[in-house]
Structure formats: C-alpha cells, structure tokens
Amino acid sequence: MPDDDPDVRQLHAEVDLGDTESEFRILVSGKFVKYLTIDAGLYSPDDMCFEPSFISIIPKLPPGDWNEGHISKDAATGRPHFAEVMKSQHSGITNLWHATRIDHLELQNRRKFARFPWEIPYLEAETTAYQWIDGHQIGPKFLGHLSEEGRVIGFLMVYVSGAKHAGPEDFALCQATLSRLHDLEIKHGDIDKHNFLIHDGKATLIDVETATRCSDKGLLDQELKQLEEELRDTSGRGGSRILPAET
C-alpha cells in the first residue's frame, strides 16, 4: 500500500493452503478493526502470514465506514482489488454477567477472544460456563468481558503462573476439581490432561467451552471414571489449540 495510507496492523490470519478463501483481522489507524477475506490463489501463504509482506501487497483500503472487505482478482486488470466492502453488524457475546468490561486495545495478554465473528458461539459458551463455576475454585478467576468497538468478543482471566499440565501422578488433585464441577451438575466434556493445570498443590480446569449442564449422575460418573485414562494418555491429543485465540 502507498506510504500515505493509514497505519495497518495484521492482528490475526486464518490462511488456507487449498482452494478456500483466507480470513484476516486487521487494525486500522490504531483503533478500527476490519475483517478481510482474500480469494484463494491470489497471494502466496508465506506473504499472507508475514505481516510486513501482507501490508505491502494488499490493495489500498477503500475510504468510508466499513468493517468487512473482500479482495479478489480484477477481471479487467488481472490485479487484486477490493471487490466489495460493507458495514456489518457482527454479533457479540450476550451473557454479560460480570461487572467489568475492558477494551481489547487496552490489554494484550491474559485474554481469550473470538478472532473472527464465526468464533463468537464458542466464546459465548465458555463465558456462560465461567459464570456457572465462578467462586467455586474450579477454573481460573474470571476478570471481565473483552470488548471490540462496543461488542463483547471474549474475556480476561487470571494467569495461572508456574503451572504444568496434569499427569497420572496428579490424579487425586484432578479428581477433586472435577468432582467439584460435578457437584454443580456440570459436565466438562473434554477432560484431556492438557485441560488441567497443576499448581500450588491443586488442579485448575481450563477450556470450559464444552461444559454443559448435566443432572444425569450416570454421565457424570462416566466422565469421572474416564479421568485416570485421560491422564495416562500419551498421544498428544489436546496439546495444541486452533481456536479461539488465547494470549
């Protein structure tokens, strides 16, 4: 883009290596978030993933009040251009149970949020789960809701320092925490060992977006019985996460 264009930062990239369009979340002039989609094959994945290259190759941003843009090849010139821009009302998290709300530009860590609008349902579910367990010494302390230009896209939580993922030797600690969750008639739904953080002589449960209300004692007991096997698992399952963003 020309030097006289506004400052642009690439916040997040979802680059597809096949024949599907790629998605980007960018920050313009330090305060405006815009979402871009780029047709497959227009740029190389390396250029799209490397911020300086990405900023230099995309077309000049169109003027006006818009937050979604689509870049494709201009049929007349063969060059990339903005085929469409629009102002969309993106959905946000609606269960705003905590009193604190913080803008996404104010903090750069200890937060979990939807990078793209289609990730909102995951964060909505996890926000609600944190409300269910608030004050019960099960998960990290929930500090407040994270907002982007008025809509809520995620949350902040206390960073658990000095923690390690659970192993077979931590069964008793994990069992105690999972039992407290079950006492609230909540099923976690994904109890692999990477979702237990061991620290200060206790286990903290994380990634509760799969949690559901469950009054069926049989299902809760089944999850508890599964715990020991999960802690012994060496497959690496659950060791890496794709979405949503957590920093």
Contacts of residue 235, Cβ cutoff 8 Å, sequence gap at least 6? none
Structure confidence at residue 237 (pLDDT): 61
The answer to whether residue 215 is domain-embedded is: yes
Q: pLDDT for 41-80, tens place per residue?
A: 999 999 999 999 999 999 999 999 999 999 999 999 999 9
Say if residue 2's pLDDT is above 70.
Answer: no
The answer to whether residue 154 is domain-embedded is: yes
Say if residue 86's pLDDT is above 80.
Answer: yes
Q: Which of 86, 117, 145 is the last residue of a domain?
A: 86
Question: How does the average pLDDT of the chain come out, rounded?
Answer: 92
Count of beta carbons in the 10 Å neighbourhood of residue 150? 7
Count of beta carbons in the 10 Å neighbourhood of residue 19? 8
Residues 217 and 140 in one domain: yes
Reading the block at residue 180, the tokens are: 């407290």
Reading the block at residue 83, the tokens are: 């085929």
Q: pLDDT for 177-227, tens place per residue?
A: 999 999 999 999 999 999 999 999 999 999 999 999 999 999 999 999 999
pTM of the model: 0.83
Q: pLDDT for 221-246, tens place per residue?
A: 999 999 999 999 887 665 544 335 55
For residue 96, the enclosing domain spans: 90-247
Q: Show the DSSP H helices in the chain as ranges.
A: 45-49, 51-57, 120-133, 171-183, 217-232
The owner of tokens 């008793």 is 172
The answer to whether residue 2 is domain-embedded is: no
- Grade residue 108 by pLDDT with cuts at 50, 70 and 90: low
Structure confidence at residue 16 (pLDDT): 87
The number of distinct structural domains making up the chain is: 2
Q: Which of 86, 104, 128 is the last residue of a domain?
A: 86
What is the DSSP secondary structure assignment for residue 30, as one 8-state letter? T
Q: pLDDT for 132-181, tens place per residue?
A: 999 999 999 999 999 999 999 999 999 999 999 999 999 999 999 999 99
Residues 214 and 187 in one domain: yes
Radius of gyration for the chain, computed over Cα atoms and rounded to the nearest angstrom: 21
What is the DSSP secondary structure assignment for residue 168, as one 8-state letter? G
The answer to whether residue 48 is domain-embedded is: yes
Structure confidence at residue 110 (pLDDT): 74
Residues 201 and 223 in one domain: yes
* β-strand partners of 157: 142
The answer to whether residue 206 is domain-embedded is: yes
